[in-house]
Amino acid sequence: MENSEEPMTYFRHNGIIFCSQLHKAERLEELKDFNIDPHIPVLITYPKSGTTWMQQIMSLILCNDNDSKKVINLYERAPWMESVRFKLESMDYQILTTHLNYQMVPNCVKNKMFKIIYVTRNPKDVIVSSYHFHEYSRFLEAPKNFQDFLENFVEGNVFFGSWFEHIRDWHSHKDELNILFVAYEDMKNDLQSVVQKVASFLNKKLDEETLESILNQCTFKHMKENPKTNYKSVSDLFNFESGSFYRKGITGDWKNYFLVSQNEWFDAIYQKKMGDFPLKFDNM
């Protein structure tokens, strides 16, 4: 029997699934009129696309002494604007992060005054990363199996809704915004070029020493071991006995999960929904 005392894991707002432990409808509504200083860059991603990695890159570009003892956790330097865990009014953040779709972000960011970075990732790798994320996150329901998760993902029945709509929608507004699209796969292939591109977008000049220090602090190994970036202390949200936030950090891991039939099915759907989409993904 259903226990009415038990909190529901999910709720829908504007048709999109949110997690009760992190989000409230009221906050999502209030956010539309939330005022942000236009000097604060906004990082937008669909979950599991390399958000934390880009938060670290941006944060280090904006302030390269992030390894000092004074420095707070990365998620406090770049909080999620939609999460009720953060009281933005009393925080001294450098960056604002969001997984929200275009309709739901604060109205104030919808112009060229704000610098927006949108990180994309091959959707098949997003699916695999998200599948594992659901296994160790306490605010998400563990998937029944990979097939079931894949179907839910394609239908947009996962937190933050449809990957297809998220990326298409943001991309369709690119000409009205000051937005830089960065691919996770490019970060893997040539991180130095991506860091330089992001720095130039944020109007920051990096000398060689700073660039080298940023690259060192952005490696998978460094971020996995660094208590300020590895989420190890956030045990109320994650059960790290069931998985790791810094899982593999590679591209093409989907090949270890998708059956040939699942891959063919997904490719056909992808072609239908995204065939005309101008951004292409490596390792599909």
Question: Which residue from 18, 43, 44, 45 is in contact with ligand A3P, where contact means CB under 6 A?
Answer: 45
Q: At its nearest, how many Å lie between ligand A3P and the CB of residue 52?
A: 3
The closest residue (CB) to ligand A3P is 249
Residues 177-206 as x/- pattern, contact with ligand A3P by CB under 6 A: ------------------------------
232 vs 247, beta carbon nearer ligand A3P: 247
Strand partners, 179: 116
The amino acid at residue 185 is E
Question: Which residue from 246, 257, 270, 277 is in contact with ligand A3P, where contact means CB under 6 A?
Answer: 246
Report the C-alpha gap between 61 and 93 in whole angstroms. Answer: 14
3-state helix, strand, coil in the chain (%, to 5): 45, 10, 45
257 lies in the binding site for ligand A3P (CB under 6 A): no
Strand partners, 42: 96, 116
Q: At its nearest, how many Å lie between ligand A3P and the CB of residue 5?
A: 31
Unique residue bearing structure tokens 């060192």 = 216
Q: At its nearest, how many Å lie between ligand A3P and the CB of residue 56?
A: 7
98 vs 115, beta carbon nearer ligand A3P: 98
**117 and 201 Cβ atoms separated by less than 8 Å:** yes
Catalytic residue from among 13, 23, 99, 132:
99
Question: Which residue from 218, 228, 230, 274 is in contact with ligand A3P, where contact means CB under 6 A?
Answer: 218
74 lies in the binding site for ligand A3P (CB under 6 A): no
DSSP notation for 43-93: EEE-TTSSHHHHHHHHHHHH-S-TTSTT---HHHHS-BTT-TT--GGG---
Q: At its nearest, how many Å lie between ligand A3P and the CB of residue 144?
A: 19
Question: Which residue from 223, 226, 231, 274 is in contact with ligand A3P, where contact means CB under 6 A?
Answer: 223
Longest dimension (CA), the chain: 62
Of 37, 53, 96, 81, give the one whose Cα is nearest residue 188: 53
Catalytic status, residue 99: yes
Residues 126-155 as x/- pattern, contact with ligand A3P by CB under 6 A: ---x--x-----------------------
Report the C-alpha gap between 23 and 18 in whole angstroms. Answer: 6
**44 and 98 Cβ atoms separated by less than 8 Å:** yes
100 lies in the binding site for ligand A3P (CB under 6 A): no
Q: At its nearest, how many Å lie between ligand A3P and the CB of residue 240?
A: 13
156 vs 249, beta carbon nearer ligand A3P: 249
Q: In Å, how far are 54, 192, 218 from 226, measured between CA atoms?
A: 15, 20, 10
**Catalytic residue numbers, as ranges:** 99
- The residues that touch ligand A3P, with contacts defined as CB under 6 A, are 45, 47-53, 125, 129, 132, 218-220, 223, 246-249, 253
